[in-house]
Chain A
Amino acid sequence: MRELPTLPLPAPAPPAEGYSRREALVMGLFALAAAATATGCSAADKLAYEEFVQKHFKDLSPEELKDRLASMEKRYTEQFGKEVKVSATPPMPGVLFGYALDLSRCIGCRRCVYGCVEENNQSRDPQTHWITVLEMDKEEGVNLQNANAFYDHETVPAPGKFYMPVACQHCENPPCVKVCPVQATWKEPDGIVVIDYDWCIGCRNCIAACPYGARRFNWGKPSIPKDELNPNTEYLGNRPRQRGVVEKCSFCLQRVRKGLYPKCVEVCPVGARKFGNLLDPESEIRYIIENKRVYILKEELNTQPKFFYYYGL
């Protein structure tokens, strides 16, 4: 297996949760479920009840969080027929994630789009993409009104065209967070804007407010073939989603908080995508911002994205 490149980060990722403990919890939960079945209450009823009364992610005590993670793991493991891990990896201190994309290199191949789908367990049917790749005319420059997200050439890049992939920009001043009526979405200390899928009410105000069209709603029941599920999941990231809630790019927080690059960075065949710690003056992302011609999408809206387009060539 190829050695994966790792992110230079200050603090090591926190150790994975102890297995023995989780095992004990799972056993405890199993005993509880058994007891419940004995009293005539089915596990499915209990789950439905649990889902209905559950708390907001931030209101969970450490013990309650452990219980919920264990309960989710059990459920997903049963559902997908393989062991699924659900973690709640906290942000690392001293890290503010930033992204850069070289517009002069991107060829519009959309490998990032499909790499993202696999890594982040997006629904295959109906199909959900977190990244939209826009095709535009070189003559016009960035003109969204002339952008085409549905190009289907035999080969890319098409002559006279350039490509602009757009996903969540992880704004410093995120409109989606401001408008959410129930605080189901928020900005983490490492700059990643996250969603608690179990708290979202599906009002879609965030979709209306996002200037980047980055948020996706689960209009139908999301589906992933069992063998295609990525079993390494995060509570606030790529765990299997439910119908009627909003989702979006999380900078692959299941990877970046453990020192790996986001999937789209890893799969980009032309090296157009860069990622790193904005607080580290030695990082590649800081080098790009300080030395290249940077373009910020809809800069006039003062959303202050942590996603920087640049012209590397």
Chain B
Amino acid sequence: MNVLSKFGSFVTGTARMAFVGGNRYYYAWLGVLALCIVQAVFAFSHQFQNGLIVTNMRDSVSWGYYIGNFTFLVGVAAAAVLLVVPAYVYDWKPIKEVALFGELLAVCSIVMCLLFVLVDMGRPDRFWHIVPFLGRMNLPGAIMAWDAVVLNIYLAVNLVVASYLVYCGYHGIHYNKKFVWPLVIFSIPMAISIHTVTAFLYNGMASRPYWNSAILAPRFIASAFCSGPALLLILFQILRKVSAFEIKDEAIHKVAELMAYAMGFNLFLFGAEVFKEYYSNTHHLVHYEYLFAGLHGEPSPIALYAWMSLAFAVISFFLFLIPRTRRNIVTMNIGCVLIYASVYIEKGIALIIPGFTPDQLGQVYEYVPSATELRVAAGVFGIGFLLFTLMVKVSVAILFERPRAEGAH
């Protein structure tokens, strides 16, 4: 078989694996995702025709729910390294088989990130202005241009590694370590850099004192290292139940332990930030006041979420820190959900909105996402989850369900 026909059979074979042979829950799940996507197409076409005025963003709060989701998902993508490092660098067997799923999650997260950026643009038809060589990128000055570069490189690296591993598995050949190894090593600093560059996007603006803090990037990394694995741990347990997917408890406990350290560090950095703002008590404190209480005697609509996020973070930290609750499947899953919710609120609401409220001239605009924003976001998540579901279905079938050929990965 020549390379071309091998590739052709890989494409048709995996497509069949993705859509054929699922149980009814699988197809119901695909149906739900398809519905999410279809309704979002209507919501987005409404936005495309009428402009971003159908969102609740305005000049005062000029980024909102879309960019919050973008920021959160960059973290999820970056967190794939938490599986990749022990698997490949330390050659730790229990995780090695599942590291691929971290890479697939990274791919889907970046796709969702790019979609969230696209739906947030005032002129999505001009996306090519930020494409290297085609447009006119503002390098090295603009962090957003850097972000576009690193996100796309990270997407390419993960896509190449993941599809190559699946390809080798499909044909029952052992992967070429000389090809995979450098890419995997390269993906580690890339993962750190995507979230660092995204943090710098906010961090570099002196006009927004809420973001203009040197520990913003470390905070991003710390919170990402909790939220990404939280998603994967739940997923691994579901897959273990419903498919031939295998993962040892040992690996799950190890990831949970790493998450406890990341959450501890996250809380410490948050404390350092809060101390600096409240103890120095300058005008810049207004953004934290808006986050946790309210301004000018008016309660803040986001304070409830801020406190919830903090409470979830503290509770989940202890659940993961104490070995007994970490190893108990119920408390660990509660911890995963709490971490996921905590970081999602932190990145989606508590990072963006107080950064803009009050605005540069002290005016308060209360931003709450519009129905269109929620609907479009549901569609973007639908596309990402659909992509992830199909890729996981194929990977599980290849790695765990097929009788493996001699020497296969």
Contacts and interface: CB of A to CB of B under 8 A. Distances in A.
B13 interface: no
B143 interface: yes
A243 B137 contact: no
B122 A243 contact: yes
B52 interface: yes
B361 A217 contact: no
Contacts of A245: 122-123
A199 B127 CA distance: 10
A105 interface: no
Given A182-B135, A203-B120, A213 B360 contact: yes
Contacts, number: 139
A87 to B, nearest CB: 23
Interface in A179-217: 179-184, 199-205, 207-213, 215-217
A301 B62 contact: no
Contacts of A52: 125
Interface in A230-247: 243-246
B47 to A, nearest CB: 10
Interface stretch (B18-26, B185-193, B204-212, B302-310): B204-212
Given A204-B63, A207-B62, A219-B53, A244 B207 contact: no
Contact of B205 (A183, A203, A209, A219): A209
Contact of A179 (B121, B143, B358): B143
A144 B362 CA distance: 5
Contacts of B121: 201-203, 244
Contacts of B127: 201
A220 B148 CA distance: 26
Interface string B197-235: 000010011111000000000000000000000000000
Interface residues of B, number: 47
B205 A208 contact: yes
Contact of B52 (A145, A178, A179, A244): A244
B138 A244 contact: no
A52 B361 CA distance: 36
Given A201-B121, A205-B142, A212 B63 contact: no
A59 interface: yes
B135 A213 contact: no
Contacts of A203: 117, 120-122, 144
Nearest to B55: A219
A168 to B, nearest CB: 12
B205 A179 contact: yes
A11 interface: no
A200 B144 contact: no
A283 interface: no
Contact of B59 (A56, A145, A217): A217
A175 interface: yes
Given A244-B122, A244-B123, A213 B59 contact: yes
A207 B208 CA distance: 11
A211 B207 contact: yes
B64 to A, nearest CB: 10
A182 B207 CA distance: 20
6 contacts: A145-B362, A182-B138, A201-B123, A217-B62, A220-B50, A221-B50
